[in-house]
């Protein structure tokens, strides 16, 4: 089946529920979620993002049956206080930050240092241009995020970010999000790598993955048989996910369906 056609299937449709039941029963399965735009609504100020209480409680309940993980663009320490529960695993910086990988310190230091030139430009020669354009620079350690949601002229703000990256983005991987451009070391893991790491670590091959943005597409594209992939919000025809939810407002309903399937 064409992947873009498949993404038109609603996750809570009878066909979606049937497939979800096959993945989740019998437990355990591996449930992996992005944070911003998936568990928590996108907000104008990123620091204000929180998972709704109903979502947090449903995920806590699912942890009695399954392994629950968060793979987010935020740093691990940043997202931890926004979840409202403590999952089994949290991987940050789009999968590049993995606290359970005790051998990753040198690799993480290398990925962080790859951004040093770009950091210096943001604080120096490009600081005024970014500020005048209304671009907020968020340093996540292993990635830099250029937010322009609050800019008065988003197109101009995006062109300023593009100019900065053209001048100082050598050796970096960049990708767009919802009014944000992300930059990180080219060889750093992506979210698909992170999910594969979790599969290997847990020994669980049946996976539910939900995400909402461009950086979640590698997971959708590399899905295996026995996975349930969900695009949250946006145009599902532009995604390689099999199923979709209308937005974060439907996440609590989806998690309730997961819980029913698990019992």
> For the chain, what is the domain count?
2
Domain that holds residue 241: 3-98+189-262
**Res 89 pLDDT > 70:** yes
Terminal CA-CA length for the chain: 30
Where is the domain boundary, 168, 185, 202?
Answer: 185
Both 42 and 146 in a single domain? no
The region of weakest confidence among 36-50, 75-89, 93-107 is: 93-107
Q: What is the distance between the alpha carbons of residues 250 and 247, in angstroms, rounded to a whole number?
A: 6
Both 147 and 224 in a single domain? no
Where is the domain boundary, 122, 150, 185?
Answer: 185
Both 75 and 10 in a single domain? yes
**Res 3 pLDDT > 50:** no
Query: Hey, what are 217's tokens?
Result: 């597409």
Residue 107: name the closest of 121, 123, 95 by CA: 95
Both 7 and 86 in a single domain? yes
Both 119 and 161 in a single domain? yes
Both 213 and 165 in a single domain? no
Inter-residue contact 119 to 165 (CB < 8 Å): no
Both 202 and 238 in a single domain? yes
CATH code of 148's domain: 3.30.70.1020
Both 82 and 193 in a single domain? yes
Both 142 and 258 in a single domain? no
Both 68 and 180 in a single domain? no
Place of tokens 């919000």: 233
For strand 136-139 and strand 89-91, is the pairing parallel, antiparallel, or unpaired?
Answer: unpaired
Inter-residue contact 67 to 105 (CB < 8 Å): no
Where is the domain boundary, 122, 152, 185?
Answer: 185
Inter-residue contact 75 to 90 (CB < 8 Å): no
CA atoms within 13 A on the CB side of 168: 19
29 vs 171 pLDDT, higher one? 29
Both 62 and 29 in a single domain? yes
Both 175 and 196 in a single domain? no
> What pLDDT digit, counting tens, does each position of 96-138 carry?
899 888 666 777 888 899 999 999 999 999 999 999 999 999 9
179: exposed, middle or buried (C-beta count within 10 Å: 0-12, 13-18, 19+)?
middle
């Amino acid at each position: 089946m064409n992947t873009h056609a498949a993404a038109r299937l609603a996750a809570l449709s009878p066909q979606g529920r049937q497939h979800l039941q096959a993945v989740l029963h019998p437990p355990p399965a591996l449930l992996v979620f992005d944070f911003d735009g998936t568990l928590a609504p996108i907000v104008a100020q990123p620091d204000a993002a929180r998972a709704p209480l109903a979502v947090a409680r449903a995920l806590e309940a699912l942890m009695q049956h399954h392994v629950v993980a968060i793979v987010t663009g935020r740093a691990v320490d940043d997202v931890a206080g926004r979840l409202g529960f403590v999952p089994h695993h949290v991987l940050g910086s789009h999968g590049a930050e993995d606290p359970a990988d005790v051998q990753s310190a040198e690799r993480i230091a290398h990925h962080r240092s790859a951004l040093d030139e770009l950091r210096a430009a943001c604080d120096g020669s490009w600081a005024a241009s970014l500020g005048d354009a209304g671009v907020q620079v968020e340093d996540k350690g292993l990635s830099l995020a250029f937010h322009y949601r609050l800019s008065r002229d988003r197109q101009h703000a995006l062109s300023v970010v593009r100019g900065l990256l053209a001048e100082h983005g050598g050796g970096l991987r960049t990708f767009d999000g919802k009014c944000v451009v992300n930059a990180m070391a080219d060889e750093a893991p992506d979210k698909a790598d992170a999910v594969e790491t979790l599969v290997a670590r847990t020994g669980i091959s049946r996976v539910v993955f939900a995400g909402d943005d461009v950086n979640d597409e590698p997971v959708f594209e590399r899905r295996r048989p026995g996975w349930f992939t969900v695009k949250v919000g946006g145009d599902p025809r532009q995604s390689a996910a099999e199923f979709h939810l209308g937005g974060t407002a439907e996440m609590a309903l989806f998690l309730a369906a997961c819980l029913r399937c698990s019992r």
